[in-house]
Amino acid sequence: MKTCFRITARAGACLSLLTALSMAFGQEVPQSIKDAVKRADEAIAKIVSVPDDQRTYENTLGAYDDMTAHLERDTSMTIFMANVSTDPKVRNDARAAEEFVGNWSVELGIREDLYKAMKAFAAKKPSLNAEQQRFLDFTLRDYRRQGMELSKEKRDRVAEIQKELNRLGIQFDQNIADDETALPFTVAELKGVPEDVVKGMKKAGKDTVIATMDGPTFSAILDMAQSEETREKAWIAYKRRGGEKNNEVLKQLVKLRAELASLLGYKTFADYILEPRMAKNAATVAKFYNDLRPIVRKKAELDWAEFKKAKADETKNAKAEFYPWDYSYYKTLLQKKKYAVDGEKVAEYFPMERVVDGLFKTTQSLYDLTYKDVTADAKSLGFEIWHPDVKLFEVKDSASGDLIGHFFIDLYPRPGKYTHAACWGLFSRKEWMDGKVSTPVAALVCNFTKPTAEKPSLLPHEEVETFFHEFGHVLHNLLTKANTNRFAGAAVARDFVEAPSQMFENWVWNAEVLNTFAAHYKTGEKLPKKLLDGMIAARNLGSGIETEHQFYYGLVDQAYHTAPGGDIDPTKISQELFPKVELYKEVPGVYYQASFGHLVGYEAAYYGYQWSLVYAQDMFQRFEELGLLNPKAGAYYREKILSRGGTMDEFAMLRDYLGREPKLDAFLRHLGLSK
């Protein structure tokens, strides 16, 4: 889930929110961005000018929320263009705009006059509703976390560090985005890789092609290349992206983050980051891993034995070692041999048109919604369509006919576009101080295979899962009933934000759901029961190994950000932890951390993916009890989770939805595990 721009009193919250940033030459901050910031400054001046004895919610905190919402609506589309525009200048200017607004927000976060205005308002002990009181509490907390209770000298240093972290974070992302690692392979060395993938590679001679390390190409090689040497070369090259350049940037980032935490009174940077999240502190995260790792290790050992045997059988070498570059290949092999699941054949039952239709019908029915393609009317509605592939949809509540919001979908790859799948919350729902309401807007950006004249876009099942996941974020953004910009949509604790989307992935593993839309692109034949049963049976194949791999990245992240003083050797830590957390042996000469993009944006917080998955599966169990296609179940979930946004404590929200305390059981079943 990406937030294009959402400012809070905590200035650091809005820094480095865009990935794949590029500080290319020729950047220019668009005048519209400068004008938007000027209007924001004028709104702030008006807030601080109010005499303290005349402060109300409407002219102080509410006016501040109005300012942030106006700024979001005036800047987010421009900044978002960094990820989707076909024009390099537009992308570069968007990146300049992001840095400009980010640095402005640092200064905003340490404005003493605005801080004093908020303190004066709080001192009046105003009578507020629950959402407004939470907003005030969070604002004062954010100011404390920003250092406003420190001396001016220390506050200035906090701001200086945040600006430098902003710059270094952009540089870290830049080094990953600009990495041009590519390897020459003969066609013979790529035996097993789908023909259309090899044909898409640049030629470097009669029988030689150049394999770039973009996600789809890398995955195809790891999944399908029969040559272990080819897989090893690709894996090592992929894990060296970013290289020493990013290693040095990372050292600076971690050191500065530790200094920031120390200035603000926290033991470690992880403790600072985690305070406003569900986990609260680094000790809770450490316990989370300590509790889960022994349980997951049992499944990982079973997986390991199964995968090692598969390699021994195929290579006819009982002593064959199992390496990280073997995992995807033998998982694909086991899916075919043990479960009769051929990924390429499965994709034939998921043409894009049917997947979109199935996704839309499922969610419209569940949540009592109506979607309408309004791409042709975009301009008259005040929207711009940035590419012919893009579509715009209007969302209304079916019962009342009220407009809920809009979402864009941009499904296919092109040069200069964001390379993965993500949802951007562009505009939040907002009830303005004058009583008017503005509706939310989200954008779903993916990179699925583009259709050709001969064949429609066919989605592998894992991409169908990705589509449902990201659409879960769209719904979280749109179905909010929060009135403040601060809490609208997916503005929940960062270690909960993935839970609604992770929960929605489960629909693509349910036979009843899949039978409503999965059909062969040529014949219209439904997904055969034998194939579907095999897919479902293979769902937990390798789940122990994969979960330990996620633990590894989370533990590396925690090790960096709990190190005393932030003095670390990033490579040493990542290398030493690898064989301690996973069953593989250490692989020398790689820099796992140098291309670990989550170290900027999710720093000290990567644990959140597994943390939120625990709650996602618990929520799914409740939804499943009520019926996956039952509109009453959808209405209940919409009311208890999606509509609330960040207006209440996440644990309280979960207890209200579940009717009990959250439990680990559903998560363990999801992985094919038990205590």
Contact yes or no for 256/566 (Cβ under 8 A): yes
Per-10-residue mean pLDDT of the chain, 675 residues long, equals: 49 33 60 98 99 98 99 97 94 92 90 97 98 98 94 92 90 84 96 92 93 88 97 96 92 98 97 98 98 96 98 97 98 94 94 98 98 98 97 98 99 87 96 98 94 92 96 98 98 96 98 97 96 94 97 98 96 96 94 90 94 97 96 98 98 98 94 77
Q: How far apart are CA 618 and CA 614, in angstroms?
A: 6
Q: At 370, phi and psi to the nearest 5?
A: -130, 125
Where is 31: in which H helix or E strand? helix 31-48
- Exposed (0-12), middle (13-18) or buried (19+): which is 628, by Cβ within 10 Å? middle
Q: Which of 470, 548, 582, 650 is catalytic?
A: 470
Long-range contacts of 211-220 (CB under 8 A, 24+ apart): 211/182, 211/183, 211/184, 211/185, 212/180, 212/181, 212/182, 213/179, 213/181, 213/182, 213/183, 213/237, 213/238, 213/241, 214/419, 215/419, 215/420, 215/447, 216/447, 219/328, 220/193, 220/194
Between the alpha carbon of residue 122 and those of residues 105, 148, 151, 585, the distances in Å are: 22, 15, 21, 56
Q: How far apart are CA 43 and CA 64, in angstroms?
A: 8
What integer pLDDT is reported at residue 416 of this predicted model? 86
Cβ atoms within 10 Å of 388's Cβ, excluding its own: 8
Q: What is the DSSP string of 515-532?
A: TTT-B-TTT-PBPPHHHH
Where is 409: in which H helix or E strand? strand 403-410
Q: 430-450 burial, b for 16+ CB within 10 Å, e for fewer?
A: bbeeeeeebbbbbbbbbbbbe
Q: Which residues contact 280 (CB under 8 A, 6 or more apart)?
A: 274
Instruction: Dig out the tokens for 452 from the structure.
Output: 């050709």
What is the SS3 assignment for 125?
coil
Contact yes or no for 27/21 (Cβ under 8 A): no
What integer pLDDT is reported at residue 659 of this predicted model? 97
What integer pLDDT is reported at residue 89 of this predicted model? 94
Q: At 373, phi and psi to the nearest 5?
A: -70, 115
Instruction: Dig out the tokens for 282 from the structure.
Output: 């680094």
Q: At 210, phi and psi to the nearest 5?
A: -105, 120
- Exposed (0-12), middle (13-18) or buried (19+): which is 25, by Cβ within 10 Å? exposed
What integer pLDDT is reported at residue 243 of this predicted model? 86
CA-based max dimension of the chain = 84
Q: How far apart are CA 174 and CA 95, in angstroms?
A: 11
Cβ atoms within 10 Å of 225's Cβ, excluding its own: 24
Dihedral sign from CA coordinates of 635, 641, 646, 647: positive
Nearest to 170 by CA among 61, 271, 249, 59: 249
Strand runs labelled E in 295-389: 369-373
Q: How far apart are CA 365 and CA 94, in angstroms?
A: 38
- Exposed (0-12), middle (13-18) or buried (19+): which is 189, by Cβ within 10 Å? buried
Strand runs labelled E in 422-484: 422-427, 430-431, 437-438, 441-445
What integer pLDDT is reported at residue 2 of this predicted model? 59
- β-sheet bridge partners, residue 2: 424
Give residue 111's identity as a one-letter amino acid code: R
Contact yes or no for 312/318 (Cβ under 8 A): yes
What integer pLDDT is reported at residue 3 of this predicted model? 55
What is the SS3 assignment for 374?
coil
pTM: 0.90
Q: How far apart are CA 269 and CA 282, in angstroms?
A: 9
Q: Is 470 a catalytic residue?
A: yes
Between the alpha carbon of residue 626 and those of residues 367, 469, 620, 643, 658, the distances in Å are: 14, 20, 10, 19, 11
What integer pLDDT is reported at residue 10 of this predicted model? 32
Q: How far apart are CA 609 and CA 588, in angstroms?
A: 27
